[in-house]
Amino acid sequence: MRNILIKIRDLVHEYREYDENDNLVKTMRAVDGVTLDIEEGSFVAVLGHNGSGKSTFAKHLNALLMPTEGTVIFSGRDVQEIENLWELRKEAGMIFQNPDNQIISNVVEEDVAFGPENLGIPSEEIIARVAFALQRVGMEAYRLSSPNKLSGGQKQRIGIAGLLAMKPRCILMDEPTAMLDPEGRREVLRTVHELNRQEKITVVMITHYLEEVVDVDRVVVMDHGKIVMDGTPKEIFSRIDKLKEHHMRVPQVVELADELRKEGIALPEGILTVDELVEALCRLR
């Protein structure tokens, strides 16, 4: 059994709108009673359509938002009681959808060094960390380039390197590939999977692409602010009707396997990839 890194209990988040006289006019419950344990070293994907509450949920994991009700315990500490939130964000950094929004400097290595510099880390250590981080995301050749000239996928990897330089325990990603082309998408996913496996960094990824969660450890589906499904990719993809009920679109292979099953073809459950489907069909002949 792995350690629990983040323990979430009965989490509720409400957005409140006030009129000019500070009277409450509208309450919107974006997260509605979420309980979840995230194990250290695991790769967890949180799926859901726009407005399902998944982004609001994720922002609680490093205290970008505070619970309206319930608790978030990060490595034994209640986030609402942590005085220095920057300490927490160093351990659990976040990558956002738009790669342009998180780049600050005109030179790649300065950008990556920005975080550790602010922590007052000695410069030899910073240099070592930046070199390591850029190497881990495969961007060392761009050390002295301008981030503006990079592709979206490269920018996201620079963002990830920036987090790595802080030596995080956890990387949170809020739809990190939504604005990328297929190649950029592959680069970013490959990078985070490697970091998860080799550096044992916990990853929580928010996404609405089911294709991206085929090889994660655990998939959580949210709708209406609640967790509606929770399991391994195979378990989740074996319940296609339920996924569709929650407005998710499944990859073509999964859909095809499901359609064939409905026509009485005896395919096993949990087919996720082209190879798995081809193999299963060959066995039927």
Partner 1 sequence: MSIKVDHVSYVYDPDQKVRRYAIQDVSLEIRKGEFVSIIGHTGSGKSTLVQFLNGLLKPTEGHVYFDGRDIFEKDFSLKLLRQKVGIVFQYPDHQLFESDVLKDVMFGPKNMGQSPKEAEANARAALKVMAMDESTFEKSPFELSGGQKRRVAIAGILAMNPDYLILDEPTAGLDPEGRDEILELIRTLNWSQRIAVILVSHSMEDVAEYANRILVMNDGRIIMDDTPKNVFRSYQELEKIGLSAPQVTYVAHELKKKGFPIDEDIMTVEEAKKEILRILTHDS
77 or 247: whose CB is closer to partner 1? 247
24 or 282: whose CB is closer to partner 1? 282
Which residue type is seen at 59? K
- Site residues (CB under 8 A) for partner 1? 49-51, 97, 151-152, 175, 178-179, 181-184, 208, 247-249, 251-253, 255-256, 259-260, 263, 265, 274-275, 277-278, 281-282, 284-285
**CB of 166: closest distance to partner 1 in angstroms?**
27
**CB of 208: closest distance to partner 1 in angstroms?**
4
1 or 282: whose CB is closer to partner 1? 282
Cα–Cα distance between 173 and 273 in angstroms, integer? 24
DSSP sequence for 189-212:
HHHHHHHHHHS--EEEEEES-GGG
**CB of 47: closest distance to partner 1 in angstroms?**
10
Cα–Cα distance between 87 and 76 in angstroms, integer? 14
Cα–Cα distance between 189 and 205 in angstroms, integer? 10
For residue 197, give both structure tokens.
Answer: 């496996």
141 or 282: whose CB is closer to partner 1? 282
CA-to-CA separations, 11 to 32, 51, 163, 205, 236, in angstroms, rounded: 7, 17, 26, 18, 23
**CB of 202: closest distance to partner 1 in angstroms?**
25
74 or 96: whose CB is closer to partner 1? 96
147 or 184: whose CB is closer to partner 1? 184
Beta bridge partners of 220: 46, 230
Task: Convert 109-124 into a string of H (helix), E (strand) and C (coil).
Answer: HHHHHHHHHHCCCCHH
- DSSP state at residue 89: H
**CB of 182: closest distance to partner 1 in angstroms?**
6
**CB of 103: closest distance to partner 1 in angstroms?**
17
